[in-house]
Amino acid sequence: MTEAMLIGAFLAALFYVLIPGPAFLALLGIGAGQGRKAGALFMGGHLVGDTVWSALALVAIIGAKSIGTLVFDVLGLFCGLYLAWIGWTALSAKPRGGDRPLMAVERPLRRGLIFGLTNPKGYPVALATFTALLASSANALDFEALPALLAVSFLGFLIADILLIGVIGASVVRRFYRRHERAIVRLSGVLFIGFAVQAVMHAAPGLLNLRRA
């Protein structure tokens, strides 16, 4: 185990969370609209998915046999439909009156858990990020190092989550969000539907080839 290996895994986890994507947009709406507590619950659920995908990526990098593409094709299709539903919900959301947010997530922990585990980009992004930052230590990677790598990766996830929750829940961010809430929610809905189309398009070729076989 080398120091460079631990630093690489930590930075990979940090960047993996901080790279903008569907989860970031969801956190923006939940955290800015409902406060830091709701945002923290969402990220707490999402942390489960982050840990799972990073573990699979590290196992693949170290040399384990890949579990195959079918799982990710099915997952991509499911996630595409889920994101499309969220996008449509955002596009069709109506004002709730008073200071209530335009869109309110009643169970942010569950929303984060589903988001984290059904993210079709989770595995390939984790694989690419960890590969890039662990490339210099490739010769030293083995399964004995896996627990330590997962531990520092988990630490990286936590720090990144805390940073995002702190930023999203800041008063200036919340004021900006409340002032432009309807436009942000509608734009997020369009982006979610775009993510959904992309997810389905990536999953469809593999599923169609399986059906023809």
Answer yes or no: are the C-beta atoms of 200 and 80 closer than 8 Å: yes
Percent of the chain residues past pLDDT 90, beyond the cut: 3
Tokens of 38: 């709701």
Tell me the per-residue pLDDT of 19-50, one tens digit each, with 9 for 90 and over: 666 677 777 777 776 777 888 888 888 898 88
d(CA 101, CA 167): 18
Tell me the per-residue pLDDT of 51-97, one tens digit each, with 9 for 90 and over: 888 888 787 767 644 445 566 567 667 767 876 887 787 778 776 55
Res 96: pLDDT? 55
Q: What is the mean pLDDT of residues 116-122?
A: 72
Residue 154 pLDDT grade (very low, low, confident, very high; cuts 50, 70, 90): very high
Answer yes or no: are the C-beta atoms of 14 and 160 closer than 8 Å: yes
The mean-pLDDT minimum among 79-88, 97-106, 126-135, 168-177 falls in: 97-106
**How much is the mean pLDDT over the chain?**
75
pLDDT at 135 over 70: no
d(CA 185, CA 86): 11
Res 204: pLDDT? 79
Residue 3 pLDDT grade (very low, low, confident, very high; cuts 50, 70, 90): confident
Res 68: pLDDT? 53
Tell me the per-residue pLDDT of 96-117, one tens digit each, with 9 for 90 and over: 555 555 556 678 888 888 878 8
CA distances 177 to 27, 170, 172, 173, Å, are 12, 11, 9, 6
Res 159: pLDDT? 93
Res 64: pLDDT? 46
d(CA 205, CA 198): 12
